[in-house]
Amino acid sequence: MDTADDYTLLPTAPPLEDYLRLRRDSGLTPVTAEQGAPAIAGAWSACHVVDAAGTPVAMGRVIGDGGWHFHIVDVATDPAHQRQGLGRAVVEWLVADIRDRAPAGPWVSLIADPPGQRLYRSLGFEDVSPSLGMGIVLGAD
């Protein structure tokens, strides 16, 4: 992806400090470096977008088993760069990468927070009702 606005999509995760910053600044749950480093290393696929100065301004990852189940996570855009189509470009790239590298017929899921629901629906994602996404954050006992 190269646009007139001088954004470039790179087929890698951003550096750890930028990953942590993009999560925090975009409104995703902040994570520590101890959580972020293995998250980046364990991704099945990842990409990020840099601006003309080379600063990472958007990102996304895929986690999964490499066979059937793929989950899109960490889709985040720096607030100063939102409404430029960067989130769409990230998700489209991640879906294309799954389509290109996974066996036929993969299940691709994500958790759609309200700000991203319209985008994800426009890309073909559907509500999985009556199923309901659930989660738990384990304490540091």
DSSP states of 84-125: SSHHHHHHHHHHHHHHHHSPSS-EEEE---GGGHHHHHHTT-
Cβ-contact 79, 25 below 8 angstroms = yes
Closest CA to 84 of 62, 52, 127: 52
Round to the nearest angstrom and report the end-to-end CA distance of the chain: 44
Q: What percent of the chain has pLDDT over 90?
A: 84
Whether the predicted model's global pTM rises above the 0.85 cut: yes
Cβ-contact 110, 125 below 8 angstroms = yes
Residues 6+ apart with CB under 8 A from 113: none
Cβ-contact 71, 110 below 8 angstroms = yes
Say how many C-beta atoms besides its own lie within 10 A of residue 10's C-beta: 16
Q: How far apart are CA 129 and CA 29, in angstroms?
A: 25
Quickly state the pLDDT bin for 141 (edges 50, 70, 90).
low
DSSP states of 124-140: T----TT------PPP-
Quickly state the pLDDT bin for 121 (edges 50, 70, 90).
very high
Cβ-contact 9, 48 below 8 angstroms = yes
What pLDDT, on the 0 to 100 scale, is given for residue 16?
Answer: 98
Kindly state which CATH superfamily the domain 8-122 is placed in.
Gcn5-related N-acetyltransferase (GNAT) (3.40.630.30)
What pLDDT, on the 0 to 100 scale, is given for residue 35?
Answer: 97
What pLDDT, on the 0 to 100 scale, is given for residue 140?
Answer: 65
Pairing status of strand 69-77 against strand 45-50: unpaired
Cβ-contact 90, 97 below 8 angstroms = no
Whether the predicted pLDDT of 4 surpasses 60: no
